[in-house]
Structure 1
């Protein structure tokens, strides 16, 4: 957590200078006054400046990164965490060696890790931040695979005029299939069954 000590002629000026250094607003820091300003002899000699300490408050993503760091340390994994903003929230992309253990079968471990991270990061917040965890671009590759699967199965439905029921998928993966085919001119999708065995069905659209 970043912390700086700033001196100036007044407490207000020290705080202002510290916020400028950190490039944040006052609500993003905790402030502690270390020394009050004092005039010296005759108002000239031995003037003591104000000294304040500004410490950045951790936001949800900072907490998420700290939590992940502790998990990786426990697992003896060397993992770098990259942060980027996307339209849905914040993406934390993990890079390193032997990350298959973090991904799991079809991303199930990654989904569980993402679920835990969001709980830890947002537990004391009125407005939660959506945090997506990816590892070595797994989610990008998995999305491409699912979209290719949707294309292929939609073609089969059109050819044989018979609905296709996919294997059980997570809510995130079902959403990819539904979104990809939602504007398809010939086929439609819906889900059936109960978790964790809920499945996507691809069927012909009603004609007329």
Structure 2
């Protein structure tokens, strides 16, 4: 009789690997059914669920059937709620072009569904910018949508763009999500920080490492200091902990005064 097990994991692949280990066989020796698709929840904060699958070991005497592989499972990430599982054959082909108006309508629909699920009242004003279409959100107590240094806001923006551009091959619209001018204020803060830390790097004659930032914020730092002849900048580390390094062009001698060094270390 065929052996049957049910396993869970962060992903379907992880659950399948656990099952074949329990059965002492390979993926080619089993069939499996996804009972519950994995879900990262809303912005990775709410409703996180593991994958749950039912794995059946094939009868040795039965005629070999095509094995189901992990690659046959496609996850639709267009929604921040429960993630449905679709077979590869059912994936719709990309459309050549979709009117911008329709893409923006998709974005608005997605935002309404998200805010309804979170039970918060949010309105927004739409405007065009050089690098895309801006949705500036307004409402009370929207700090939960910003997160630390805008990380939650960036995640929401990423999901909105996925929803708006789903199946679009050409003419994809870029949507920028802002909350009551937060991004402009954050940019001003980063530019001031860049100037302050550039001065510090010149005073102490050593490199200054900033905290990890996303690609957009690192670019702001680089741009803020690109005309500063006293320092140069570069990025180091791996995502998601990649950071900017500010380097003074004239470094202090290693034989520095101890008291001066201690004073700067307190900055």
| TM-score normalised over the length of structure 2 | 0.54
CA contact (8 A) 2:232 2:247 kept: yes
Which of 166, 169, 174 is the aligned partner of 2:210?
A: 166
Can you list the C-alpha shifts for 1:17-72, whole angstroms capped at 9, x where unaligned? xxxxxxxxxx96xxxxxxxxxxxxxxxxxxxxxxxxxxxx9422221111101111
User: In structure 1, the residue corresponding to 2:189 is in which secondary structure?
Assistant: helix
> 2: distance between equivalents of 1:161 and 1:59?
54
| Poorly superposed stretches of 4+, deviation over 4 Å | none
Rg: which structure is higher?
1
Cα offset for 1:137? 1.2
Correspondence for 1:23: none
> 2: distance between equivalents of 1:127 and 1:187?
40
User: In structure 2, the residue corresponding to 1:95 is in which secondary structure?
Assistant: strand
Which of 243, 264, 267 is the aligned partner of 1:199?
A: 243
Which of 178, 186, 209 is the aligned partner of 1:134?
A: 178
Cα offset for 1:82? 0.7
C-alpha RMSD over aligned residues: 1.8
User: In structure 1, the residue corresponding to 2:124 is in which secondary structure?
Assistant: strand
Cα offset for 1:206? 7.3
State the aligned residue count.
153
Correspondence for 1:94: 137
User: In structure 1, the residue corresponding to 2:172 is in which secondary structure?
Assistant: coil
Gaps of 5+ in 1: 1-26, 29-56
Cα offset for 1:202? 0.5
Gaps of 5+ in 2: 1-97, 252-267
| TM-score normalised over the length of structure 1 | 0.69
> 1: distance between equivalents of 2:102 and 2:230?
46
CA contact (8 A) 2:205 2:250 kept: no
